[in-house]
C-alpha cells in the first residue's frame, strides 16, 4: 500500500505542475498550486508511505536509515512511473504542448536545483524523521511551502523541479529538454545526500 501512496502523491504533484504551468491564465500562480498540492498529499499519505513523492527525498530518508534499501528502489520506480503517467494524462487533456523549452544556464541551474533540493530534503528530514519533532502537526505545510518558495525564487532559472520525478514530467511535457535532464538528476540527488549528511551530523544518536 505504501508504494501505491507514493504513486498517487507523486502523480498529483506532477499532474498539478503540468496543468498549471501549461495554463496561461495561471501565470504566476502555478507555484502556489504546486506547493499546496504537495502539502495536502504529504498530509494525506505521510502516515502510510512517509509522503516522499520525490526520489531525492527518498534517498535522503534512506541515508537517515529510515527507509530500507529495497523500499528505496520501489519508491523510485513508483515515483518515476507516476511522473510519466501524470505527464501523459496532461498531454491527453491539453494536447501536445507547443511551448518552447527553457534553455537554462547549466551551472546556474545546477546550483539552484541543488540548493532548493537540499532545502526541501533538509526540511523533510527535520520535521519528519527526528525525535524532537515527532508527532508535529505542521510537517505538510513546512514541506509544501519549501517547494512554493523555491519555485518562486528560482523557477525562472531551472524550472524549479527539485525532484527527478517532476523533472521527468516536465521533460515529457516539452518544458525542458531531454539533454538537460542530467542537471536535475545530479543536483537533486546530491542535494538529498548532503541534507542527510547534515541532519545525521546534527542528530548522531537519532537514526
pLDDT in tens, 121-131: 999 999 999 99
Reported as a pLDDT band with limits 50, 70 and 90, residue 97 is confident
Reported as a pLDDT band with limits 50, 70 and 90, residue 35 is very high
Cell 551551472 belongs to which residue?
107
Distance, CA of 142 to CA of 127 (rounded, Å): 8
Give CA separation, 207 vs 62, 87, 199, in Å.
10, 36, 10
Give CA separation, 192 vs 56, 93, 123, 157, in Å.
5, 33, 11, 20
Q: Is residue 74 assigned to a domain?
A: yes
Q: Is residue 90 assigned to a domain?
A: yes
Q: Is residue 69 assigned to a domain?
A: yes
pTM, two decimal places? 0.96
Reported as a pLDDT band with limits 50, 70 and 90, residue 169 is very high
Least confident of 19-28, 137-146, 147-156, 179-188: 19-28
Q: Is residue 131 assigned to a domain?
A: yes
Q: Is residue 37 assigned to a domain?
A: yes
What does the pLDDT read at residue 20?
95
pLDDT for 10 beyond 90: yes
Q: Which residues contact 127 (CB under 8 A, 6 or more apart)?
A: 133, 136, 138, 139, 142, 143
Return the closest-CA partner of residue 80 out of 56, 104, 109, 96. 56
pLDDT for 30 beyond 70: yes
Kindly write down the DSSP assignment for every residue of 124-154, as one continuous string.
HHHHHSSGGGTT-S-HHHHHHHHHHHHHHHH
Strand partners, 160: none
Cell 536535475 belongs to which residue?
184
What does the pLDDT read at residue 167?
98
Cell numbers placing 160: 524549479
Q: Is residue 183 assigned to a domain?
A: yes
Domain range enclosing 41: 2-202
Q: Say how many domains are in the chain.
A: 1
Cα–chain center distance at 15: 12
Q: Is residue 152 assigned to a domain?
A: yes
What does the pLDDT read at residue 91?
96
The overall average pLDDT reported for the chain is 95
CATH number at residue 74: 1.20.1080.10
Q: Is residue 207 assigned to a domain?
A: no
Distance, CA of 22 to CA of 104 (rounded, Å): 18
Amino acid at each position: 500500500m505504501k508504494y501505491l501512496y507514493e504513486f498517487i502523491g507523486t502523480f498529483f504533484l506532477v499532474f498539478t505542475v503540468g496543468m498549471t504551468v501549461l495554463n496561461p491564465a495561471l501565470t504566476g500562480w502555478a507555484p502556489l498550486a504546486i506547493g499546496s498540492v504537495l502539502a495536502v498529499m504529504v498530509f494525506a499519505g505521510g502516515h502510510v508511505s512517509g509522503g516522499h513523492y520525490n526520489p531525492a527525498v527518498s534517498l535522503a530518508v534512506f541515508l537517515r536509515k529510515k527507509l530500507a534499501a529495497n523500499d528505496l528502489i520501489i519508491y523510485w520506480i513508483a515515483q518515476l512511473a507516476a511522473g510519466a503517467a501524470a505527464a501523459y494524462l496532461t498531454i491527453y487533456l491539453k494536447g501536445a504542448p507547443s511551448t518552447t523549452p527553457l534553455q537554462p544556464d547549466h551551472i546556474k541551474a545546477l546550483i539552484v536545483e541543488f540548493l532548493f533540493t537540499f532545502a526541501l530534503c533538509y526540511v523533510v528530514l527535520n520535521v519528519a524523521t527526528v525525535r524532537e519533532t515527532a508527532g508535529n502537526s505542521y510537517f505538510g505545510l513546512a514541506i509544501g511551502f519549501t517547494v512554493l518558495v523555491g519555485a518562486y525564487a528560482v523557477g525562472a532559472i531551472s524550472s524549479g523541479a527539485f525532484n527527478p520525478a517532476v523533472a521527468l514530467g516536465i521533460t515529457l511535457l516539452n518544458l525542458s529538454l531531454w539533454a538537460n535532464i542530467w542537471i536535475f538528476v545530479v543536483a537533486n540527488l546530491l542535494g538529498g545526500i548532503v541534507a542527510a549528511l547534515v541532519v545525521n551530523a546534527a542528530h548522531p544518536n537519532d537514526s
